[in-house]
Structure 1
Amino acid sequence: MSHPASLSPAVLPPAPAVGPPSPVTGFGPPAPSEPGAPTSAELLDFVRHAAIDKKLIASLPLDPEGRTWLRLEGPRGSEAWLIGWPPGTGTGWHDHAESVGAFATAEGRLTEHSLAVRLPASGWKTLELEDGVDRERHLGAGQSRAFGRHHVHEVLNESPVEHAVSVHAYYPPLPLMRRFSRSGAVLRLEQVERPEDWQ
């Protein structure tokens, strides 16, 4: 899921490769959680409850051309957003750095493409993904999911006619997002965004 900072994914020229693409395999160990930080389960509970709050969902202005959003007060210092998705819109491939997160669909249906692999935190521009790392989920109204640190995905409203609305929460508040382009098995780092870019 992308941060609701831009109405469409950045379109940039491909980043130059640094040497040959590196194969990506396996997961690293999970990072320890901070004392007092909300857990993934708490974030998931928050987005589920917010997604059934009809008054909250109705407060989001919808635009037929681009995504819209409202900042919400998430649990225990987390960052939360209510996002509207016009037909045919999506985020592009991205991650949320060290943040854990959750999202729930309130209206319509969203598709999530994700990678079942943890990418290196730095030191690369191009990676070659191994077979079998792609995952796809369809989340209709009332469905939700949580994810861990360094989760790489794209979220799409594939409907040609129906708006979708969803609720998202992250902790810690997003320190940065990396945006990627993808061509087959090759993933390229295109841009690093920081909170000041989203204001």
Structure 2
Amino acid sequence: MSPPASASPPASASAGVSASELLDFVRRAAADSALIDSLPLDPEGRTWVRLDGPGGSEAWLIGWPPGTGTGWHDHAESQGAFATARGTLRENALAARLPASGWKTLELADGVDRERELTAGQGRAFGRHHVHEVFNASQTEHAVSVHAYHPPLPLLRRFSRTGAVLRLEQVERPEDWQ
């Protein structure tokens, strides 16, 4: 991964940023061709630039080389949205609310898996504790997307998954990625 280039974050955060406002923001940003063209793309790893999101939210412009992804994770207490600007991203998600803490391994019920494909111009919003993985399944084309979270990410939990078993593997704090 390349180190992020950072724009200065807003000085104060508003408590009233909704998931729909985040979705509106990421869709508008994804449609801004000058912004999308400004992202340096690396053939080996994801690249990202921090953006000023609405109402003090945390926002990122992310480049996805062919075959790259996030792995299973959530955004803790933050709600979020993302939109694909170029290429196609796939999202695998769990349609189940997981406990916020106090567990290391969970057995998932049948029927909780959801899969969607988001092509350029498409986006989605999600609530707190949304567990998903996002990836560029293309073997030849980069994808680019815009993501926003409110409140700014307090932490990110990473999981591994084997069949119906989800395991908490790591907890990252903002200083790990900023």
Quickly name the TM-score band, shorter chain normalised. over 0.9
Preserved contact between residue 96 and residue 174 of structure 1 (Cα < 8 Å) = yes
Aligned counterparts of 1:117 and 1:6: Cα–Cα separation in 2: 33
Preserved contact between residue 74 and residue 132 of structure 2 (Cα < 8 Å) = yes
**Superposition deviation, residue 198 in structure 1:** 1.3
The one-letter code sitting in structure 2 at the alignment partner of 1:47 is V
The one-letter code sitting in structure 1 at the alignment partner of 2:43 is P
Alignment-derived partner of residue 18 in structure 2: 39
* Structure 2 segments unaligned to the other structure (5+ residues): 5-12
Alignment-derived partner of residue 13 in structure 1: none
Alignment-derived partner of residue 62 in structure 1: 41
The one-letter code sitting in structure 1 at the alignment partner of 2:86 is E
Give the SS at the match of 2:100. coil
Q: For 1:68-87, what per-residue CA distance to the aligned partner results, in whole angstroms no more than 9, with x for missing partners?
A: 00100000000000000000
1:142 aligns with 2:157: no
Give the SS at the match of 2:90. strand
Number of residue pairs the alignment of both structures matches: 170
Alignment-derived partner of residue 72 in structure 1: 51
Aligned counterparts of 1:35 and 1:58: Cα–Cα separation in 2: 29
Instruction: Percent identity, please.
Output: 78
2:147 to 160, 163, 168: 168
1:100 aligns with 2:65: no
Alignment-derived partner of residue 184 in structure 1: 163
Higher-Rg structure is: 1
The one-letter code sitting in structure 1 at the alignment partner of 2:85 is A
**Superposition deviation, residue 36 in structure 1:** 3.8
Aligned counterparts of 2:158 and 2:2: Cα–Cα separation in 1: 12
* Structure 1 segments unaligned to the other structure (5+ residues): 8-33
Give the SS at the match of 1:64. coil
Q: Which segments of structure 1 move beyond 4 Å, counting only runs of 4 or more?
A: 4-7
Preserved contact between residue 5 and residue 198 of structure 1 (Cα < 8 Å) = no
TM-score (norm 1): 0.82
**Superposition deviation, residue 5 in structure 1:** 9.0
Preserved contact between residue 115 and residue 152 of structure 1 (Cα < 8 Å) = yes
Alignment-derived partner of residue 88 in structure 1: 67
Alignment-derived partner of residue 151 in structure 1: 130
**Superposition deviation, residue 35 in structure 1:** 7.2
**Superposition deviation, residue 196 in structure 1:** 1.3
**Superposition deviation, residue 178 in structure 1:** 0.4
Alignment-derived partner of residue 25 in structure 1: none
Q: For 1:123-148, what per-residue CA distance to the aligned partner results, in whole angstroms no more than 9, with x for missing partners?
A: 11100000000000000000000000
Give the aligned CA root-mean-square deviation in angstroms. 1.8
Alignment-derived partner of residue 128 in structure 1: 107
